Amino acid sequence: MKNTMQQYNGRPKTAEGRLEREIRTYDFLDELGIAYVRTDHEPATTMEACSEIDTVLGVVMCKNLFLCNRQKTNFYLLLMPGDKKFKTKELTKQIHSARLSFAGPEDMLQYLDIEPGAVSVMGLINDRNRQVQLLIDEDLLKEEYIGCHPCVCTSSLKMKTADVLEHFLPAVGHAYLAVHLKGEDSTES
């Protein structure tokens, strides 16, 4: 990861060297009038790689998991705090779906036009048929800001959670289901 990361208000000055899906994300956010702070960096495909980004943006990057049921008939995008552990069992009970697993790279491309490591709520721009159900951990809903990738893992954004919930999601035609994930290593007594 570069040690020279900086904050920028809004989109890059030029589209040169950037993927079309990233530029499409900035276009969409700008159309909606959603303000965001951006930083550019080396590929960040894990939560560990995001720790420096967290510091630069002043926000904990959101953990984004793209999940599906065994039959691959239901797809879910789960947003949760980056420092929380994910336990499938906690989620399956709440959404009444058995056998959740991680969706494959081909599914990410097909439904969200995103590659592994860049999964983000911003990918819902590309889910025009609304085949992905958005799930958001209730702890994330309490945060003032959300950190996410703009459909690529070489840039990261910080924006108000309220803007995502009240402006972005209605614009892409997606509602969300709030879920409660403890994420703790607890033993049952």
Identify whether 189 is part of a domain: no
The structural domain count of the chain equals: 1
Write the CATH number for 70.
3.90.960.10
Q: Per the domain annotation, does 41 fall within a domain?
A: yes
Residue 134 included in any domain: yes
pLDDT of residue 96: 87
Residue 3, domain member (yes or no):
no
Query: Is residue 17 included in any domain, yes or no?
Result: yes
Written as tens digits, the pLDDT of the chain (189 aa) is: 445 789 999 999 999 999 999 999 999 999 999 999 999 999 887 777 788 888 899 998 889 999 999 899 999 999 998 888 888 888 998 998 878 999 999 999 999 999 998 999 999 999 999 999 999 999 999 999 999 999 999 999 999 999 999 999 999 999 999 999 987 654 332
Rounded Cα distance between 83 and 65, Å, is 13
Residue 45: give the domain boundaries: 8-179
